[in-house]
Amino acid sequence: MDYKLFYASESAAQGIRVMLEELGVHYELIESTTDRSKPRPAKQLEINPNGWVPVLMYDGTGMYECAAITIFLCDRHSEANLAPKLDDVTRGLYLQTLVYFSSSVQTAFQTTYYPDRFVDMPEAEASAQKRGIRRLRETWQVIDDQIGNNDWVLGKYFSAVDIYLFMLTTWLSPTLGHPDISEFPNVKRVAHATMSRPSIQRIYADWLAKNS
Ligand SMILES: N[C@@H](CCC(=O)N[C@@H](CS)C(=O)NCC(=O)O)C(=O)O
């Protein structure tokens, strides 16, 4: 099965690229951008009119939304064991955490990176950003408490959720006022364990060189 991924580095597409590597499937990257002043490839916009990456193409069609792509790929390549099977007791936690990442943690990040999307008046943007930072702290704390003493997000076994978690931690920027990962020791432990995956070492080589 061949895939095409509309891609920009340091974006949510990077986590999907790691998953494609973990699955060992053939894929092609199509360079896109997150710079709002630059145009997107027409095909990307046709599939995702929001203009965001990642966008995944397969079998002549395409889809977007990181959590949905993760579930889709893990189900399609279930032999890779990146996700609990339908009857596994951790299946609920797997789905819950992916959707929480996408709907709550990512929204908190967006409020800090793109405050103009959340308020009407430019003068309200600083306040939105400040609330976004507080929301980041609240949502990461929920995840930290959820992980507790577990080795991985879902307990004993590594999964796609750990890749997603790692990707999100790379967006934490104390220079923007975000909390430091050290505030969430369980998240930090899982992120560090995930870093040792060869797929992360390859795809996040630049980030790891700058940050570890
Ligand atoms: N909910 C979407 C969000 C994707 C998203 O925010 N992508 C960012 C990069 S991390 C992007 O393309 N930003 C460019 C823009 O907003 O114009 C997902 O999870 O896939």
Question: Does domain 2-80 fall into CATH 3.40.30.10?
Answer: yes
pLDDT at residue 65 above 80? yes
Spatial separation of the C-alpha atoms in residues 15 and 206, rounded to whole Å: 14
What is residue 18's predicted lDDT score, i.e. its pLDDT? 98
Helix/strand/coil for 48: coil
**149: CA distance to ligand 1 center in Å?**
31
Q: Which atom of ligand 1 lies at the shortest distance from residue 171's CA? A: 10
Q: Which atom of ligand 1 lies at the shortest distance from residue 11's CA? A: 10
DSSP label at residue 105: I
Q: Which atom of ligand 1 lies at the shortest distance from residue 64's CA? A: 20
Whether this model's pTM surpasses 0.75: yes
**47: CA distance to ligand 1 center in Å?**
14
Instruction: Give residue ranges with CB within 6 A of ligand 1.
Output: 11-12, 34, 36, 51-54, 64-66, 102, 106
CATH of 91-211, one of 1.25.40.10, 1.10.357.10, 1.20.1050.10, 1.10.3720.10: 1.20.1050.10
Question: pLDDT exceeding 70 applies to what percent of the chain?
Answer: 100
- List, in sequence order, the alpha helices (H) in 24-90: 42-47, 66-76
Give residue-wise pLDDT tens across range 85-116.
999 999 999 999 999 999 999 999 999 999 99
What is residue 212's predicted lDDT score, i.e. its pLDDT? 79
Spatial separation of the C-alpha atoms in residues 182 and 76, rounded to whole Å: 35
DSSP H or E stretch at residue 162: helix 160-169
pLDDT at residue 1 above 90? no
pLDDT at residue 8 above 90? yes
Instruction: Report domain extents, the chain.
Output: 2-80, 91-211
